[in-house]
Structure 1
Amino acid sequence: MNTCVVMTVLAPDRTGIVQTLSQTVADHSGNWLESRMARMAGHFAGILRVECPEANAAALIAALEALEGMSIQTRQEDSDPDETRHLLKLDVVGNDRPGIVRALSGAIAATGANLEELQTTLESAPMAGHPIFHAKGIASLPEGLAPGALTEAIEDLGPDLAVTVEE
């Protein structure tokens, strides 16, 4: 029987981090299922989900946590993810302001939806050059919530937000 290990990785950015992680997973008969990785402020930041035989999980976790120069936190999950969720893609663009992520996440949570993924960036506004907030993500809806309710909750945050919700 297999089990999943979810981990976060933070380390000063350098060549070979992903190779070291993937080799450690392979050494324990693991399979790299999914990941999100980025370079932020000179650091490598990543979240990963790997699968391995249940008998190898403790050794894999110990080996990962022992890697030098990396801060790695792990969680073992025995259950399969719920694949029956109703997922929507979100795209939100508007003027940047302090607290915009708090307001956006609060509006989504108030509907009962759950943020599955969120990526935010600041972009330069065409022609004006001032910062524009851009969020892309995926939200799962609770049973009975219409996609329009999620759109309306986000649009209620201000007239400057352009919101696109797609199934």
Structure 2
Amino acid sequence: MQQHLVISLISDDKPGVVERLSAVVAENGGNWEDSRMAHFAGKFAGILRVSVAGEAAQGLRDALSALAAEGYKLQVEDTSTLAAGPQQTIRLKLVGNDRPGIVREISRALAARQLNMEQLETGYDSTPWSGEPLFTAECTISVAEDMDLDGLRDELDEIADELGVEIDCEEVTATL
């Protein structure tokens, strides 16, 4: 029986971090399935999902733990698959002058509706015309296929007005 593990990683940024981690996964019978990784202020951080045969899972866990001696900070968690009804994917895109509380207000609106962020990517830059701090965010959420999105859009519009940002909420169509 296959087991799935979610592994979070942080280490000093240096050549070979992904190679070393992928070698440990492969050498211990794991299959690298999905990941998000990036360089942040001299550190390398990421999260990945691997599958491994149940009888090889502990060996993989032990090998990953041994990476601590090389400066890797890893957290390994078992995953569970929850059955959900038909889902639709929604993408939120936000752009506006940076200010404290933007992520909090958006996440609060989603949490109040029991909606879970599947993915969140934020960025900080300067506007090309004035040099003002510019905040961008893109968030993916899954909601029940039959959910009425009008209330969510209305609340996001109110938040956008309060924060002085622009928020687009769009349904994502599956591509085959």
TM-score, normalised with respect to structure 2: 0.87
Give the structure with the larger helix fraction. 2
Question: Match for residue 122 of structure 2?
Answer: 120
Deviation, structure 1 residue 82: 5.0
User: CA separation in 1, counterparts of 2:116 and 2:43?
Assistant: 28
Look up the equivalent residue of 1:165 and give its one-letter code. Answer: C
TM-score, normalised with respect to structure 1: 0.91
Count of equivalent residues = 167
Deviation, structure 1 residue 94: 1.6
Question: Tell me, which stretches of 5 or more residues in structure 1 are unaligned?
Answer: none
User: CA separation in 2, counterparts of 1:69 and 1:124?
Assistant: 34
Deviation, structure 1 residue 17: 0.6
| 1:41-85 Cα deviation digits (max 9, x unpaired) | 100000000001011111101111210210000001253775843
Compute the RMSD of aligned alpha carbons. 1.8
Look up the equivalent residue of 2:143 and give its one-letter code. Answer: L
Question: Match for residue 41 of structure 1?
Answer: 41
Give 1:17-56 correspondences, 5 Å limit: 17-56=17-56
Distance 1:96 1:42, change over 3 A: same
Question: Match for residue 169 of structure 2?
Answer: 165
User: CA separation in 2, counterparts of 1:32 and 1:129?
Assistant: 41
Work out the percentage of aligned pairs sharing the same amino acid: 38
8 Å CA contact retained: 1:155, 1:161 = no
Question: Match for residue 65 of structure 1?
Answer: 65
Look up the equivalent residue of 2:135 and give its one-letter code. Answer: F
User: CA separation in 2, counterparts of 1:149 and 1:114?
Assistant: 16
User: CA separation in 2, counterparts of 1:162 and 1:45?
Assistant: 29
Distance 1:59 1:84, change over 3 A: farther
Question: Tell me, which stretches of 5 or more residues in structure 2 are unaligned?
Answer: 172-176
User: CA separation in 1, counterparts of 2:8 and 2:85?
Assistant: 22
User: CA separation in 2, counterparts of 1:149 and 1:126?
Assistant: 34
Distance 1:42 1:73, change over 3 A: same
